[in-house]
Structure 1
Amino acid sequence: MGTRPVLVYDGDCGFCTSAARFAERRVRPRCAVTAWQDADLAALGVTRQRAEYEVLWVTPAGRVYGGAAAVAKALLSAGRGWAVPGAVLELPGVRRVAGAGYRWVARNRARLPGATAACALPADRRPGAR
């Protein structure tokens, strides 16, 4: 593992790819941004199943955050004005709501702007299906 965190997203999903590119251009998190399909998941300590399930933030020490927590970590790492919403997303009451919002977006990503057919996960692998 490197010295920078890694933000791992679904490179087959148009919506996820658009979101990752937006983050790289506008948010500028201090991390490597990579599609799980291009990542060495074993080296990151992440399973393919988890990478397909949610966006991931992997620290250099190997700690893995998923979903809304990963988004919060990316925002915090960017600093500037982005750290404020990142910190808010980590507040206990907000964290629960953010998690529910993330799961809604993940379940419906095939219907969102930039989506492709690859965005639709099988029903048993959608967030909240567990």
Structure 2
Amino acid sequence: MTGEPVLVFDGDCGFCTTSVGLAERLVGIRARVVPWQRADLAALGVTRERAEYEVLWIEGGRVRGGAQAVAGLLIAAGLPWSPLGFLLRLPPVRWAAHGLYRLVAANRHRLPGGTPACALPAPGSAAAAPPSSRPSPPPPASPSSPSPSSSPSPSSSPPPPDVRTAENR
């Protein structure tokens, strides 16, 4: 994907929505801002699990998540914000920013503006998703396909932030 950067956030989370609104007013986000619930995630090259897990900055086909998404937003905003964005990309500030982001994300339902809907779903828990966004049950297995019990279950934990795979390079 090329063109205008995209900021993807959790539109069901009051804390996230308030934070994005504040960033729009104070920083001036130079990107298309879209809640993941209304985004074409496949076209953006991200999974629903990753979008639920962290804020995403998608620019030039590259996906950055969490604190590095915030860094991308700040860099794109220009002066006076871009130096802070570049600083967030440098170790050890990068490591501290990642830890702080994970702490805030894990507790966003407890922060001002947060509601129970802001809580991150337990890894692999469809029950934690709002009813309107729960996936439908899988179709019954055909006789030619292996049974679910005979194959190992895939890991349901979200990807670690900033892991670059072939699909998001």
TM superposition score normalised by structure 2? 0.71
Letter in 2 for 1:82: W
Letter in 2 for 1:32: R
**Structure 2: distance between partners of 1:71 and 1:44:** 18
Q: Point out where structure 1 has 5 or more consecutive residues left out of the alignment.
A: none
Deviation by residue 1:20-46 (Cα, 9 ceiling, x = unmatched): 111111111211111001111011001
Alignment partner, residue 74 of structure 1: 73
Runs of 4+ in 1 over 2 A off after TM superposition: 122-125
Deviation by residue 1:76-122 (Cα, 9 ceiling, x = unmatched): 11012111211110112110110000000000101101101110123
* Structure (1 or 2) with the larger CA radius of gyration: 2
Greater relative CO (CA pairs within 8 A, separation 6+): 1
Deviation by residue 1:41-95 (Cα, 9 ceiling, x = unmatched): 0110010000000000001x31100000000000111012111211110112110
- Contact 1:24/1:33 (8 A) holds in 2: no
Within a 5 Å distance, the mapping from 1:47-58 to structure 2 comes to: 47-58=47-58
The answer to whether the aligner puts 1:14 opposite 2:14 as a matched pair is: yes
- Contact 2:109/2:118 (8 A) holds in 1: yes
Q: Point out where structure 2 has 5 or more consecutive residues left out of the alignment.
A: 125-156, 161-169
Give the Å deviation of 1:2: 5.5
Percentage of pairs with the same residue: 60
The answer to whether the aligner puts 1:30 opposite 2:30 as a matched pair is: yes
Q: Secondary structure at the match of 1:64?
A: strand
The number of aligned residues is 128
CA RMSD, Structure 1 to Structure 2 (Å): 1.9
Q: Secondary structure at the match of 2:50?
A: helix
**Structure 2: distance between partners of 1:124 and 1:41:** 19
